Amino acid sequence: MQKEGRRIFRQPTKLDEIMDCSMRRGFLHLLSNRARMTEIWQRTVGPKVAPNTTILSFELGRLTVSVKGPAYYERYRYDVGKWLRRLNIEYGDEVVTEIVLQVGG
């Protein structure tokens, strides 16, 4: 920032302020939400399904989940509605509006 040809220097930002800002809006917030969603996903689908699925993204209510192969896709596509209801019950709100299954990563 310059003012009338002179530079004005700010105090260095403290690490805790950077972390706080990041947790509120940035990358760490994204990671914490993804970790929470993964934990809830594993509880929701159960121990038989969870190892065969991976959450790829969660944006604007759309949860995209990768399944290991076409056979798992065929088997799990019938359970998507049930999982959607369970996830929203677990969150306590209509957080997830759609679950999309994809074969592979």
Residue 69 in this model has a pLDDT that exceeds 80:
yes
Q: Which fold has domain 11-103?
A: GMP Synthetase; Chain A, domain 3 (3.30.300)
Question: Of residues 94 and 77, which shows the higher confidence score?
Answer: 77
Question: What's the confidence (pLDDT) of residue 58?
Answer: 83
- Contact status, residue 34 vs residue 58, Cβ threshold 8 Å: yes
C-alpha triplet 81, 85, 86: angle, nearest 5°:
115
Mean pLDDT of 66-87: 95
Residue 64 in this model has a pLDDT that exceeds 70:
yes
- Contact status, residue 84 vs residue 67, Cβ threshold 8 Å: no
Asked whether the CA dihedral 49, 50, 51, 52 is positive or negative, the reply is positive
| Nearest residue to 65 via CA among 81, 54, 78 | 54
